[in-house]
Amino acid sequence: MKKLFILILLFNPLTVLSSEVEIGGLLLDNTRSRQGHEFFTSFSQLWQDVPNTNGHVVVIKEIVIPRSGTRLTVTLNNKNIFVTHLGRRQSPIKDRVEQAVLILIEAMAQSQLSQSNPDLATNGW
């Protein structure tokens, strides 16, 4: 009887619905090359430390350019905020990742400011 009560308590849909689940922002990987994966891995490690990411979707897209390298684009809520080119040879990408994260933080702050400020109307009135 005691086990049945515990099972009912654990699998009760009301307890599942009453507990709030908070999901932060999404970081999506659309890279193909080794350099792209390295960029994404470094970026995702820094992304974990970024505060107030709720409601933001960040996508890292990669376009491989034959004989030239790769172009990485960081988008925030369907807006391009950072674009970089990585050559075919291995180059340190730590500086580019840090620059991308700083630009991302600034873009997120600007989007929060424009959404919450009543003085900045989108229609001009």
Averaged pLDDT, 89-102: 87
For the entire predicted model, the pTM comes to: 0.70
> What φ, ψ does residue 26 adopt, rounded to 5°?
-100, 140
Cβ(74)–Cβ(47) under 8 Å?
no
**pLDDT score, position 74:** 94
**pLDDT score, position 4:** 45
Band of residue 118 on the pLDDT scale cut at 50, 70, 90: low
Averaged pLDDT, 63-67: 89
23-116: CATH topology: Sulfite Reductase Hemoprotein; domain 1 (3.30.413)
Tokens 């390295």 belong to 38
Strand partners, 57: 26
Q: Which residues contact 88 (CB under 8 A, 6 or more apart)?
A: 67, 68, 69
What is the rounded distance in angstroms from the CA atom of residue 26 to the CA atom of residue 56? 6
**pLDDT score, position 6:** 47
pLDDT tens digits for 2-15? 544 444 444 555 44
